Structure 1
Amino acid sequence: MLPNIRGSSSEILSVLDKVSSVAKINRPILILGERGTGKELVAQRLHYLSQRWDKPFVAMNCSALSEGLVDSELFGHEAGAFTGANKQHQGRFERAESGSLFLDELGTMPLNVQEKLLRVIEYGQYERVGGSKMINTDVRLICATNTDLVKASQDGTFRADLLDRLAFDVIHLPPLRYRKEDILELAEHFAISMCRELGLSHFEGFSQSAIKQLLDYHWPGNVRELKNVIERAVYQHNSSSQPIEHIIINPFVSPWNLSDQKFENAPIREAEPTNTEPKEASINKLPKDLKQWLCDKEREWVELALLKSQFNQRQAAKQLGLSYDQIRGLVRKHSVRKTLD
């Protein structure tokens, strides 16, 4: 089934046009892109748009296996090839015969395996580990990595001749931060899917502040990170009656430690007069117990935000640049009452 790669930006449409064009040519293809940009989806699209669409599509992550296992898993092994090899094992090339083999994280492949892979590309032949018989193969190779292979070849960690053979054409996937017009389209798609999974009747959308959060963030994890963030937001919001107001992008920020929080919104404090006192006078005002002073100040700001928002904790959190869970944690920490004297 042809994978649906969402987006209408010129950057992603250009990639899809290139994929459609190169899919028809029976040559190795290299896909380059940051983590989470959809390299495997593009590899699948290359396969299903090719003349091999009705043959196997087999994938292997090179970084998930040790050096010895990469060799065996890729080319197979004979019975008795090593300790524990009780029977002949069919490798990925054999399983992908007449179809396409997708090798992800290619930059982690050991040099000795790279040499064997080069022989497969040049002569269409390989040997199983522990075997002596040459096996002919007809497999279209699609490789992907987020490693700089040119630099790796200069450093000697990747074979330059293999890089030449693989680079019949190179598909560069754009990071999500360079296709901002696709962010909301993708976010709504992930949100609707999550609503269905949770049994919610419909998706009410995102508030303007949530939209700003999504568009302002730089998305180092790209589409994969966006999917996680949106699914978490829908699950925590768990409502079809109101749009999502606040999105927690970093779930690792502790609700009990304000020093971990990188404020995205301006603080609610009023402008303070410039301190013109001499440095010596300021030093004399240092708190005797810094930890207690910080705790008291933290409570003061929480109470002030709650008063300004009429004890609406979501609004108070927004004013302080915190998540809803964080403000709840601070209310519990300081035992803030629902009415303040």
Structure 2
Amino acid sequence: MQQNLIGESPAFLSVLDKVSKLAPIERPVLVIGERGTGKELIAQRLHYLSKRWDQPLISLNCSTLSEGLIDSELFGHESGSFTGSKGRHQGRFERAENGTLFLDELATTPLSVQEKLLRVIEYGQYERVGGHKALNANVRLVCATNANLPEMAEQGLFRPDLLDRLAFDVIQIPPLRERKEDILLLAEYYAIKMCRELQLELFTGFTPNAEQSLLEYQWPGNVRELKNVIERAVYQNGTADTPIDQLVFNPFASDWEKTTQNDNSENSDHTETTTFTFPMDYKLWQEQQDRSLLAQVLEESKFNQRKAAEMLGLSYHQLRGMVRKYDLAGQNNE
């Protein structure tokens, strides 16, 4: 069952209007948005407003599978096509026949799989792994990512021809920080749901201080993070009959860490500001900064590029692009 898409901000309503117009059109759709913005909910809306609403909606998070497994999971495999394969396996395309296939985290798919996706879109055909018979596919493809696909295509990390086929039209979901009008609306919605779950008699509301905190926070995890913050606040407030005032935005922060941070903040007041000499070659300076940063993070991550990307708050493909740009590709990448 489709979950609710809640919001009344102009940016959000514009997205819903675009989805309604795109839904009946039998073309692939690309959904772009940061983590936690509701990309899967948009895919559900596209499906249930389309002519395929009574057919299967099948989903797959591409980032959760290795190259060999995602190939088999998407297109299926024949018995004995690889070690341990017993019997014919029905892939997601086959299961989504006449319906919609939603591929989340599309940017993580290997180039070999991207080539097969391109063939399905262009010719409506695919083959099972280990098979030789072409199977016809009548599937509406909806793909989602938070990566910059045009930039990845320029770096050779994503097939430009596949990007062209997917980009019949692109739905850009605004981050929550750009939907200020929706923050308190969503907060109240999740608070009331949590009260019902905990069998509390009523929702006591938020204090003006709490509301201001909600509006000023940047929400890097978007709606998903907001839901966690609100549900946490409701259960911690418990049966108290006073409005919620305290919100915990970072549940990983501890009291002793806060003390250390305060001490560091006081010490930083005496830190000298870096001075620059002008004129300067900004591009050269930026390159030196990037190289120094990459060298340090790769060393600390023991040259595991996935871990290094996490340490920098980048996607794996973004870090790989930087490594290639500065010709550091000789380092281990796993």
Into which bin does the TM-score normalised by the smaller protein fall? 0.7 to 0.9
Alpha-carbon separation, structure 1, partners of 2:257 and 2:189: 34
Secondary structure, aligned partner of 1:185: helix
Is the contact made by 2:2 and 2:41 (CA closer than 8 Å) also made in structure 1? no
1:70 alignment counterpart: 70
Alpha-carbon separation, structure 2, partners of 1:80 and 1:197: 48
1:147 alignment counterpart: 147
2:224 alignment counterpart: 224
Alpha-carbon separation, structure 2, partners of 1:201 and 1:240: 11
1:60 aligns with 2:77: no
Change (3 A) 1:262 1:215: farther
Is the contact made by 1:29 and 1:142 (CA closer than 8 Å) also made in structure 2? yes
Alpha-carbon separation, structure 1, partners of 2:99 and 2:131: 24
**Counterpart residue type for residue 59 of structure 1:** S
**Which stretches in structure 1 are left out of the alignment for 5+ residues?**
268-341
Is the contact made by 1:26 and 1:140 (CA closer than 8 Å) also made in structure 2? yes
Q: Look at both structures and tell me which one has the larger radius of gyration over its CA atoms.
A: 1
1:112 alignment counterpart: 112
Cα offset, 1:20, TM superposition: 0.2
Alpha-carbon separation, structure 2, partners of 1:220 and 1:162: 29
1:173 aligns with 2:158: no
Secondary structure, aligned partner of 2:13: helix
2:300 alignment counterpart: none
Alpha-carbon separation, structure 2, partners of 1:131 and 1:262: 63
Alpha-carbon separation, structure 1, partners of 2:232 and 2:38: 20
Cα offset, 1:193, TM superposition: 0.6
Percent identical residues: 66
* Residue pairs, 1:256-295, within 5 angstroms: 256-259=256-259
Alpha-carbon separation, structure 2, partners of 1:237 and 1:27: 48
1:197 alignment counterpart: 197
Is the contact made by 2:77 and 2:88 (CA closer than 8 Å) also made in structure 1? yes
Alpha-carbon separation, structure 2, partners of 1:156 and 1:257: 42
Alpha-carbon separation, structure 1, partners of 2:22 and 2:258: 51
**Counterpart residue type for residue 136 of structure 2:** N
Cα offset, 1:261, TM superposition: 5.2
* Residue pairs, 1:1-341, within 5 angstroms: 1-239=1-239, 241-259=241-259
Q: C-alpha offsets along residues 167-204 of structure 1, whole Å, 9 cap, x if unaligned? A: 00000000000001100000000111111111101101
Secondary structure, aligned partner of 2:189: helix
Is the contact made by 1:100 and 1:141 (CA closer than 8 Å) also made in structure 2? yes
Is the contact made by 2:31 and 2:144 (CA closer than 8 Å) also made in structure 1? yes
Q: C-alpha offsets along residues 134-169 of structure 1, whole Å, 9 cap, x if unaligned? A: 000100000000000000000001000000000000
Is the contact made by 1:203 and 1:240 (CA closer than 8 Å) also made in structure 2? no
Is the contact made by 1:62 and 1:109 (CA closer than 8 Å) also made in structure 2? yes
Alpha-carbon separation, structure 1, partners of 2:114 and 2:262: 44
Cα offset, 1:245, TM superposition: 1.0
Change (3 A) 1:86 1:248: same
Cα offset, 1:256, TM superposition: 2.6
Alpha-carbon separation, structure 1, partners of 2:170 and 2:258: 45
Instruction: Name the TM-score, length of structure 1 as normaliser.
Output: 0.76
Q: C-alpha offsets along residues 222-280 of structure 1, whole Å, 9 cap, x if unaligned? A: 000000111111111112511101101111111233335579xxx9xxxxxxxxxxxxx
Cα offset, 1:65, TM superposition: 0.3
Change (3 A) 1:45 1:196: same
**Counterpart residue type for residue 232 of structure 1:** R
**Which stretches in structure 2 are left out of the alignment for 5+ residues?**
267-334
- Between the two proteins, the alignment pairs up a number of residues equal to 264
2:296 alignment counterpart: none
After the TM superposition, list the runs of 4 or more consecutive aligned residues in structure 1 that deviate by more than 4 angstroms.
260-263
Is the contact made by 1:202 and 1:240 (CA closer than 8 Å) also made in structure 2? no
Pick which of 152-161 and 246-255 moved more.
Answer: 246-255
Is the contact made by 1:200 and 1:240 (CA closer than 8 Å) also made in structure 2? no
Change (3 A) 1:84 1:15: same
**Counterpart residue type for residue 219 of structure 1:** W
Is the contact made by 1:56 and 1:98 (CA closer than 8 Å) also made in structure 2? yes
Pick which of 136-145 and 240-249 moved more.
Answer: 240-249
